[in-house]
Amino acid sequence: MNEIILADPIPEMFFQMSENRFRVLPLDSAGTSSNSDVNSDVVAIVTYAHPLIDGRLLDRFPAVRVISNHGVGVDHIDVAAARQRGIPVGNTPGCLDAATADMTMALLLAVARNVVIGDHFARGPLFTHFDPAILIGQEVTGNTLGIVGMGGVGAEVARRARGFDMKIVYHNRRRRTDVEGSLAATWCSFPDLLQQSDFVSLNCPLTPETHGLMGLDQFRLMKHSGILINMARGPVVRTDALYQALTEKIIAAAALDVTDPEPLPRDHPLLQLENLVIAPHLGSASGRTRARMMEMTIRNLVAGIEGTALPWPVN
Q: How many domains does the chain have?
A: 2
**Cβ 61 vs Cβ 42: under 8 Å:** yes
DSSP for 53-110, written as a single string = B-HHHHHT-TT--EEEESSS--TTB-HHHHHHTT--EE---STTHHHHHHHHHHHHHH
Nearest to 202 by CA among 262, 258, 251, 279: 258
Kindly give the confidence (pLDDT) of every residue in the chain, 315 residues in length, as a single tens digit, with 9 standing for 90 and above. Answer: 589 999 999 999 999 999 999 999 998 866 544 455 678 899 999 999 999 999 999 999 999 999 999 999 999 999 999 999 999 999 999 999 999 999 999 999 999 999 999 999 999 999 999 999 999 999 999 999 999 999 999 999 999 999 999 999 999 999 999 999 999 999 999 999 999 999 999 999 999 999 999 999 999 999 999 999 999 999 999 999 999 999 999 999 999 999 999 999 999 999 999 999 999 999 999 999 999 999 999 999 999 999 999 999 998
Report field, pTM of the whole predicted structure over 0.75 = yes
Residues 156 and 62 in one domain: no
Residues 6+ apart with CB under 8 A from 142: 164, 165, 166, 167
Q: Could you list the active site residues?
A: 233, 262, 281
CATH number at residue 171: 3.40.50.720
**Distance between terminal CA atoms of the chain?**
32
| Range of the structural domain that residue 60 is part of | 3-95+288-306
Residues 25 and 105 in one domain: no
Residues 80 and 128 in one domain: no
Burial of 188 (0-12, 13-18, 19+ CB in 10 A): middle
